A and B are shown apart, each in its own frame.
Chain A
Amino acid sequence: MARKSFMYAALEAVQSEMQKDKNMIWVFELTPPVASTPGRPVINLEREFGRKRVVNTGIDEYWMAACVLGAGLAGSKAATYIPYQGSMMPFELIQNEVGKLRMKTGGDAEMPVVFVIEMTGQTPGFGVQHSCYEEDTYYAHIPGVRTVIPSNPTDAKGLMHASLRSRDPVVYLYAAGLRDLIEDVPDEPFETPLDKAAIRSEGSDITIVGSGAGMPEVLKATEELKKAGMKVETIDLRSLKPMDTETLVKSVQKTKRLLAVDQSYYTLGPAAEVIARVAENVDGARYKRIAFPDAAPPASPEMFLWMRPNAGHIVGAAKKLVG
């Protein structure tokens, strides 16, 4: 056990899988697979495994994704890290090829592949193309592709191991806003299940559900509400596809109040899916939803920070729902 950053924890899993499997490849551009953390050796996949297996490519995210798919189909485990600047460029490949290959081949195609799709850090001032947060909605819609979204370094490592060991293709959403998180993470390999939500706080008054880069604000709001005497059950989705309906339903059967929180746009976001699944299975519950408005994030920090969901918004909505 040692304190590790989000990136360090994720790359530790990749390093371990690449040491075990001499065929595994890693494709990147702009974001070198390099991480350091105090007291631990620097991880540098390019240096450790060489440029034959770990390649820094030109700016062509469609090729990066296709390369990984092709490698997988040819029998090699493969993964790519697509930086947020190109996070939607491989969408067609993942949606129309990766997502449909198993079905169209009657189960013949093997795809031991992982697409690490970075989401922006939602930095104020970066503007519409570099501070958006929307890929969760798009990728989670694709059948045939698992979509996970870790929210802390421990899950970053556990979900990376599980994704790389999965025989299904996985979109691993990497929220750059979490890059600075540091916590104690086990040194040895371990798996976090690809289909289980995590209950971060147990309570009986209200269920608050979030995911990915939204979790730090959800957890902050949870602490604030608990201090005010509210019994809050907080759930981190972790997997968007498949979504862990059972954990959500059980919780709301108990609390009868559900507040679903997205950093993504309002329409068709994960929170909409959470509410729909619970509403189909729980009678007599009350619901609220918080999300980014259906507008691209403007550059001006005044506008952007007002629009982005935060702990204050969550606390306010929870009080309305419970009060």
Chain B
Amino acid sequence: MSERSDIPQKSQDDLPAASSATRRIFLQGLAGAGAAVSLASKAAWANGEIGFWAKDLSNDQLIHMYTTIQRIRWFERTCVDKMLTEPGYRGYNHFYVGQEAVATGVSAALKNTGGLMEADLVYSTHRPSGHAIAKGVDVKKMAAEYDFRATGLNKGYGGEMHIADKSVGFMGADGMIGPGPVIATGSAFAIRARDSKQVVVNYGGDGTYATPQFHSTLNNAALLKLPFIYVIENNLYHQYAHYSYSVPMKDIAEAAKTYGIPGVVVDGQDVFQVYNAAKTAVDRARAGEGPTLIEAKTYRYYNHWGAPGAKPGELGAFGYDPLAITSFRPERELRAWMARDPVDISRNALISWKVFDRAKADEIEAAAKKEMVEAFAWADKQPMCKPEDGLKNVFVEGSVPPRQFG
């Protein structure tokens, strides 16, 4: 084990001054559930590094993080409302609302420029909007892709579940549960071999724990000391089943112990806590010290897919989802999580840190909302795909023959 692999994963007591009593109680609960499962070195701990890296961020960087949270929130809320109010709208979505602090906090610790050979790389999931926006993907092109337009991010071939833009290191969304993280370790292996100092982040939900690929990923990443970070967004439900159906312990981060790598539980509603954990993991990976598993405890405000049970203009889906046969999400559980909203937490922190005032926070939100309404309006005017173009993009060149006519 190298000397710096022992950077302490700070306990959940390292809260910003703005922390509310509610949050403290919640986090005490988290800690009790096994938050301190990292390989925190007592020596490094004794060196006095508290690990609250957000202390070093400039006001501009902090405001950028808040802006990103608002942009994700309003990209999705605009899309929800379109789905609910425009019968002709064809987009379908796996909404990320409620989890914005995770993608925002992680991307704030990454290098997002320089293209494929320099930027840090992110592998996303079937719930990709937040990951993509936080990485810097163009929201107009995303909105166009979600409605399958020829000028969309992936020219209408991908749709929401398969958006990708390697120019900003957003390696793409994958509709499968399993393959993503193992592929991501392949990218990390290449980076280590070419010594390009990039870091690879893979996002996965609580459902990925059960897959054999989860364990293959951590094993190989640990064996080869890859510059790799596995961010589990534990939003408690995989599709329509509570994670107790597929994980034998409360904290998935505990799995890191088996592979001898740091495993950190973090409050996924607090962007600064996420940033602190991500920064530690990124520094470690970039220094060649190997992978980290971060488990962000979070929650999605909508059901697994689409907007069943939601109402136009209202945040969250409280109504019936006919597909949720195994586990119905209790309305009180959802409301309890919404009381710890990532928007409110970041906003209150920045106000208390005197980074901005209420008026400025409102202004940022209004601008984000306007930007997204305009992005979807732009998307609405984009051209549809040409049917016969479906025979292209099979190989680098040319197209395959049509076979449907006989």
Contact = CB atoms under 8 A, between A and B. Distances in A.
Interface of A: 29-30, 32, 34, 56-60, 62-63, 85-86, 89, 125-130, 259, 266, 288-310, 313-314, 316-317, 320-321
Contacts of B402: 293, 307
A123 to B, nearest CB: 9
Contacts of A293: 390-391, 400-404
B210 interface: yes
Contacts of B64: none
A305 B406 CA distance: 16
Interface in B355-400: 384-391, 393-394, 400
15 contacts: A30-B239, A58-B247, A59-B177, A129-B161, A130-B175, A290-B406, A293-B390, A293-B400, A293-B401, A296-B394, A300-B157, A301-B90, A305-B387, A313-B404, A321-B406
Nearest to B91: A125
Contacts of A313: 404-406
A307 B178 CA distance: 29
B196 interface: no
Nearest to B326: A32
Contacts of B405: 290, 313, 316-317
A288 B67 CA distance: 59
A313 B241 CA distance: 41
A29 B211 CA distance: 12
B246 interface: yes
Nearest to A314: B406
Nearest to A307: B390
A60 B241 CA distance: 14
A59 B243 CA distance: 10
B406 A320 contact: yes
Contacts of A29: 241
A222 B402 CA distance: 22
Contacts of A305: 387
A291 B120 CA distance: 42
B210 A60 contact: yes
Contact of A34 (B238, B325, B391): B325
A299 B239 contact: no
Interface residues of B, number: 47
Given A32-B325, A299-B159, A57 B246 contact: yes
Contacts of A86: 176-178
B92 interface: yes
A241 to B, nearest CB: 23
B29 interface: no
B148 A300 contact: yes
Nearest to B389: A303
Contacts of B175: 85, 127, 129-130
B76 to A, nearest CB: 18
A301 B146 CA distance: 12
B208 interface: yes
Contacts of B178: 59, 86, 89
Contacts of A306: 387-388, 390, 404
Nearest to B207: A59
A67 to B, nearest CB: 13
B393 to A, nearest CB: 8
Given A30-B240, A58-B209, A60-B212, A295 B391 contact: yes
B158 interface: yes
A289 to B, nearest CB: 7
Contacts of B174: 129
A303 B390 contact: yes
Contact of A302 (B161, B239, B385): B385
B26 interface: no
Contacts of B389: 298, 303
A290 B157 contact: no
B156 interface: yes
Contacts of B131: none
B255 to A, nearest CB: 13
B123 to A, nearest CB: 15
B162 interface: yes
Contact of B245 (A56, A289, A295): A56
Nearest to B154: A299
A62 B156 contact: no
A9 B346 CA distance: 52
A56 B391 CA distance: 39
Contacts of B177: 59, 85-86
A63 B212 contact: yes
A272 to B, nearest CB: 11
Contacts of B391: 293, 295, 307
A288 B161 CA distance: 36
A62 B210 CA distance: 11
Contact of A259 (B387, B390, B406): B406
Contacts of B207: 58-59
Which one of A29, A288, A299, A309 has the greatest number of beta carbons of chain B within 10 Å?
A299
7 A-B pairs with least C-beta separation = A58-B210, A58-B246, A317-B406, A303-B390, A299-B159, A306-B387, A300-B156
